[in-house]
Amino acid sequence: QVQLVESGGTLVQPGGSLRLSCAASGFIFSDYYMSWIRQAPGKGLEWIAYIRGDSAYIIYADSVRGRFDISRDNAKKSLYLQMNNLRVEDTAVYFCARRLAGRPFEYWGPGTLVTVSS
């Protein structure tokens, strides 16, 4: 069955860097657009990054553009989020999710918690 499992979340100091991973299984990974979506504690959902199956199209929300990089390795069926210059306001649970064109996010991972604090 479809599975998405995030990893890499931890406590990091402001200004630090972190790399999140999302391992996919149960579907043809390269066929799907993938995104990272985050949720700050007690808050709503915020989409932050998007990558096409062939990695040729990438787009970011204004809140992370220039600091975060999304990438994927289709051979390893993995999605990544390199997060640099982290801020306190980046504290959140980070979810990876898949979609097809014209469709909403159908499957989500359980999320990984990133805490940015000194």
Partner 1 sequence: EIVLTQSPGTLSLSPGESAVLSCRASETIPGNCLAWYQQKPGQTPRLLISGASSRAPGIPDRFSGSGSGTDFTLTISRAESEDFAVYYCHQCGTTPPFFTFGPGTKVDIK
- Contacts to partner 1 from residues 84-103, by CB under 8 A: 95, 99, 102-103
Applying CB under 8 A, does 5 fall inside the site for partner 1? no
* DSSP conformation letters of 68-112: EEEEEETTTTEEEEEE-S--GGG-EEEEEEEE-TTS---EE---E
Token pair listed for 97: 């999710």
Nearer to partner 1, 90 or 109 (CB): 109
d(CA 62, CA 74): 26
Q: How far apart, in Å, do the first and last CA atoms of the chain sit?
A: 40
**Out of 17, 82, 110, 117, the residue judged to bind partner 1 by CB under 8 A:** 110
Least separation in angstroms between residue 92's CB and partner 1 is: 13
73 vs 34: CA distance, rounded Å: 12
Q: Does 73 bind partner 1 (CB under 8 A)?
A: no
Which CB atom, from 6 or from 90, has the smaller least distance to partner 1?
6
Contact positions vs partner 1 (CB under 8 A): 33, 35, 44-47, 50, 59, 61, 95, 99, 102-106, 108-111
